[in-house]
């Protein structure tokens, strides 16, 4: 079939800009402390896509009088899907062999990625992009979902607007710019400053999506609506600024103007990548809050800076576009930017297990070499052969052999293929049947079923629910509590074992330290305090001496108050909190300290990959040590 082709010339400067964007994202995902705003590279990609795809569609419409939707979508599919499917299969095979507890959760991610709705699935499921304690090896695919949705809709939209305003491209540019600004205003007005907790604690941080409570942060950061501003901004530029406006034989002074624009854009982008954050962790509450400037116009500023750089990247005479952005190293990386983006996050995550484990420089260098190898293999043997139709030729020769040698070769290929298919088939079946939700999530969930609800809100409300759960009642029927344990998600993981050993456990995910005071005061007020109280908090926020002293007021007559130090190596409050806890026996004769931090440092095999939560072995040791510490 003869399909119209888009015939704009190759733009090496755009590949150079892609290289900068993808490297920023990779560095950010390796260690946020190296480049706090590296995630903005994704916004740069959105602007580039908006510009380039609109430019291609305009060119096709002018050259052929129409836009061939089917041909456009087929080109996008050949460009994007083979490497994506390879990634999905590779991650599925790895998890089916080594991370089987993740298969239940992974199944939803894989399906969502296949149907281009990954970002909305994550928003709906409440799997926050900012969760640092999950493996989540496909989390980065949210941005590909945004682009895939864009590719499905955009050619139809452009065809419609060209039919109505085709002779007035400047006006179309103004309209698209206006839409981008309107989207930025929508994000700014929809965004709610403040700390995000549960829907019950912070209802202003949640919105209703078809009657379902979803986080505003995730909705705006991952959602197609909130992140379309860059796409529209890039499209607006395509109506005003096109490479064919300039010729190589005409030494226009415009090249100097666009170079100045580009330098300013690069400086602005560098500044924002260095200073902006996605979210800010709030030590006092253990929660997160959005970085206000990002949602209140920051994305638009990134888009404007990117547009300024694009003007030089596509100008055939620009020094910045040709010599700087178009240098061979940048163009090499830029051509492979899609593969680099696809493979970097799973490689990082499958090595370090959770995002909170920042990579060291040596780890980053070694893993980046692995990522480059995967990327190059994908580019040479999957992406380019399919884009150029070479795999189709090979398949045709296998189907229709001409000689006996061809038949023998085909039989060998099919035999090898049957053998090679064993692991993928096993992995897909494992994915279909898997029930795990992730090791950490499963251990915490199992604990939630046995904890007591002393204040009526011990079990954290479901963040996906729009209704307030009713107050739960304990099964203690008013009798004294001989051994009371107050904790957060670390203790929650061992709640089943602790309960079996006669301990009343009141543990809650993301619990701040000060809530121990509320529980102690309440149990004291109803005269139910027994011989022992165990407190293990400090995973989620700072504690001060005043709070510790206040906690001890209702516990002054308890025979033994056992404090556990916290092991949360990625948080700044770990050491000061532990120093205060270790000093408590000096001031209170009924206080004893179990130094869980030291034990966890000496025995990392007791912890999951986040280096915080207890694995199966760690839960048993943890319970044993607590029982020994209270003489039981």
pLDDT value for 260: 93
pLDDT value, residue 356: 85
CA 437, CA 609: separation in Å to the nearest integer?
A: 15
Asked whether the predicted pLDDT for residue 1 surpasses 60, the reply is no
Q: Is the pLDDT of residue 424 over 50?
A: yes
The token pair at 30 is 């390796």
Which residues have a Cβ under 8 Å from the Cβ of 605 and sit 6 or more positions away?
A: 615, 617, 618
Structure tokens at 319: 């020094």
DSSP for residue 205:
G
Both structure tokens of 485:
């344990």
At 61-81, the pLDDT tens digits run 988 889 999 999 999 999 999
- pLDDT number for residue 454: 87
| Alpha carbons 137 and 346: distance in angstroms, whole number | 5
pLDDT in tens, 436-486: 777 788 888 888 889 988 887 443 444 344 333 333 344 455 688 999 999
Compute the distance between CA of residue 66 and CA of residue 123 in angstroms, rounded to an integer.
37
pLDDT of residue 132: 81
Q: Which percentage of the chain shows pLDDT scores above 90? A: 71
Buried b (16+ CB within 10 A) or exposed e, 6-23: bebeebbbbbbbbbbbbb
Q: What is the pLDDT of residues 267-292, one digit of tens each?
A: 999 999 999 999 988 776 677 899 99
454 closest CA partner among 501, 530, 492, 506: 506
Q: How many C-beta atoms lie closer than 10 Å to residue 461's C-beta?
A: 16
Which pLDDT does position 303 carry in this prediction?
Answer: 98
| pLDDT for 304 | 98
Residues 6 or more apart whose Cβ sits within 8 Å of residue 170: 239, 240
What gap in Å lies between CA 268 and CA 308, rounded to an integer?
A: 10
Grouping H, G, I as helix, E, B as strand and the rest as coil, residue 560 is: strand
Which residue has 């919105």 as its token pair?
A: 207
pLDDT band, residue 405 (cuts 50/70/90): confident
Q: Residue 599: what pLDDT?
A: 97
Checking DSSP bridges between strand 212-215 and strand 287-290, what pairing results, if any? unpaired
The predicted structure's pLDDT at residue 619: 96
Say what the pLDDT of residue 251 is.
53
For 172-181, give one letter per residue: b (16+ CB within 10 A) or e: bbebbbebbb
- Nearest Cα residue to 371 out of 345, 400, 396, 408: 345
| Residue 471 contacts residue 454 (beta carbons within 8 Å) | no
**Bigger pLDDT: 416 vs 182:** 182
Looking at per-residue pLDDT, the higher value among 141 and 466 belongs to 141
Joined tokens for residue 348:
């990082």
Contacts of 516 (CB under 8 A, 6+ apart): 486, 535, 537, 551
pLDDT band at 172 (very low <50, low <70, confident <90, very high): very high
Query: Mean pLDDT throughout 133-149?
Result: 94
Distance CA 173, CA 179 (A): 10
H or E element in which residue 221 lies: helix 216-222
Residue 477 is predicted with a pLDDT of 52
- The DSSP result for 52-85, as a single string, is HHHHHHHHHHHHHSS--HHHHHHHHHHHHHHHHH
**Which whole number is the average pLDDT over 286-306?**
94
Looking at residue 462, the DSSP 8-state letter turns out to be P
Percent of the chain topping pLDDT 70: 93
| Tokens, residue 604 | 């990392």
Q: How many helices (H) and strands (E) does the chain have?
A: 29, 10
Q: In angstroms, rounded to a whole number, what is the distance separating the alpha carbons of residues 139 and 218?
A: 12
Q: What is the pLDDT of residue 176?
A: 96
CA pair distance 79, 52, nearest whole angstrom = 14
Q: 619 in helix, strand or coil?
A: helix
Q: What is the pLDDT of residues 527-554, one digit of tens each?
A: 999 999 999 999 988 999 999 999 999 9
pLDDT above 50 (res 263): yes
pLDDT-based confidence at 3, cuts 50/70/90?
very low
Q: Tell me the pLDDT tens digit for each residue of 221-237.
A: 999 999 999 999 999 99
**Domain residue extents for the chain:** 12-388, 439-629
By the 8 A CB rule, do 106 and 91 touch? yes
* pLDDT, tens only, 481-503: 999 999 999 999 999 999 999 99
* Model confidence pLDDT, tens digit, residues 5-55: 556 788 899 999 999 999 999 999 999 999 999 999 999 999 999 999 999
547-606 per-position pLDDT tens digit: 999 999 999 999 999 999 999 998 889 999 999 999 999 999 999 999 999 999 999 999
631 phi and psi, to 5 degrees?
75, 25
3-class state of residue 214 by DSSP: strand
Residue (of 10, 40, 41) closest to 313 by Cα position: 10
The chain-wide mean pLDDT, for the chain, equals 90
Question: In the prediction, which pLDDT does 77 show?
Answer: 94
As a whole number of angstroms, the longest Cα–Cα distance in the chain is 93
CATH architecture classification, 439-629: 3-Layer(aba) Sandwich (3.40)
Q: Give the Cα separation of 84 and 98 in Å (integer).
A: 21
Alpha carbon separation from 372 to 34, 342, 387, 490 (Å, rounded): 20, 11, 20, 37
pLDDT of residue 475: 46
Task: For 260, list phi and psi in degrees, rounded to 5.
Answer: -65, -45
Of the listed ranges 138-147, 158-167, 511-520, the least confidently predicted one is 158-167
């Amino acid at each position: 079939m003869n399909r119209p082709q888009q015939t704009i010339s190759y733009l090496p400067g755009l590949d150079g800009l892609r290289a900068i964007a993808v490297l920023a994202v990779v560095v950010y995902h390796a260690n946020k402390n190296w480049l706090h705003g590296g995630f903005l590279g994704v916004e740069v990609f959105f602007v580039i896509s908006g510009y380039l795809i609109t430019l291609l569609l305009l060119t096709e419409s002018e050259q052929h009088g129409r836009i061939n939707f089917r041909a456009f979508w087929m080109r996008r599919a050949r460009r994007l899907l083979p490497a994506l499917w390879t990634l999905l299969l590779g991650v599925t095979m790895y998890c089916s062999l080594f991370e089987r507890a993740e298969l239940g959760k992974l199944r939803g991610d894989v399906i969502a990625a296949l149907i281009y709705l990954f970002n909305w699935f994550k928003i709906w499921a409440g799997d926050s992009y900012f969760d640092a304690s999950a493996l989540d090896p496909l989390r980065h695919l949210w941005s590909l979902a945004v682009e895939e949705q864009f590719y499905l809709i955009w050619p139809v939209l452009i065809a419609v607007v060209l039919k109505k305003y085709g002779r007035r491209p400047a006006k179309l540019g103004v309209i698209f710019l206006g839409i981008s600004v309107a989207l930025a205003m929508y994000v700014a007005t929809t965004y709610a400053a403040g700390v995000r907790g549960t829907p019950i604690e912070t209802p202003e941080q949640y919105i209703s999506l078809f009657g379902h409570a979803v986080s505003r942060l995730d909705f705006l950061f991952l959602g197609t609506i909130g992140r379309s501003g860059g796409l529209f901004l890039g499209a607006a530029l395509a109506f005003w600024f096109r490479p064919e406006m300039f010729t190589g034989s005409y030494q226009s002074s415009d090249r100097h103007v666009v170079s100045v624009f580009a330098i300013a854009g690069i400086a602005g982008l560098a500044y924002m990548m260095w200073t902006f954050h996605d979210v800010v962790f709030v030590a006092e509450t253990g929660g997160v809050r959005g970085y206000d400037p990002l949602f209140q116009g920051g994305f638009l500023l990134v888009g404007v800076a990117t547009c300024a750089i694009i003007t030089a990247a596509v100008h055939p005479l620009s020094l910045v576009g040709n010599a700087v952005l178009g240098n061979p190293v940048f163009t090499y990386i830029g051509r492979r930017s899609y593969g680099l983006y696809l493979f970097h996050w799973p490689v990082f995550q499958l090595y370090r297990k959770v995002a909170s484990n920042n990579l060291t420089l040596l780890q980053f260098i070694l893993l980046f070499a692995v990522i480059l190898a995967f990327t190059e293999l994908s580019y040479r043997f999957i992406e380019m052969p399919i884009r150029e139709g070479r795999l189709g030729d090979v398949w045709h020769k296998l189907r229709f052999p001409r000689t006996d040698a061809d038949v023998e070769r085909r039989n060998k290929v099919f035999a090898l293929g049957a053998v090679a298919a064993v692991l993928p088939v096993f992995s897909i079946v494992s994915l279909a049947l898997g029930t795990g939700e992730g090791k950490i999530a499963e251990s915490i969930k199992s604990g939630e079923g046995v904890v007591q609800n002393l204040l009526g809100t011990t079990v954290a409300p479901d963040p996906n629910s729009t209704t307030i759960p009713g107050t739960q009642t304990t099964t203690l029927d008013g009798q004294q509590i001989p051994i009371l344990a107050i904790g957060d998600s670390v203790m929650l993981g061992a709640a089943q074992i602790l309960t079996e050993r006669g301990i009343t456990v009141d543990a809650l995910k993301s619990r701040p330290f000060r809530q121990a005071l509320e529980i102690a005061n309440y149990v004291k007020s109803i005269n139910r305090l027994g011989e022992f109280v165990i407190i293990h908090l400090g995973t989620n926020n700072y504690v001060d001496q005043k709070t510790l002293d206040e906690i001890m007021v209702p516990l002054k007559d308890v025979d033994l108050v056992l404090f556990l130090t916290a092991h949360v190596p990625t948080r700044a409050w770990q050491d000061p909190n532990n120093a205060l806890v270790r000093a408590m026996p000096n001031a209170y004769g009924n206080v004893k300290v179990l130094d869980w931090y030291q034990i966890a440092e000496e025995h990392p095999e007791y912890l999951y990959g986040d280096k915080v939560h207890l694995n199966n072995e760690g839960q048993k040791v943890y319970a044993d040590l607590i029982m020994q510490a209270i003489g039981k």
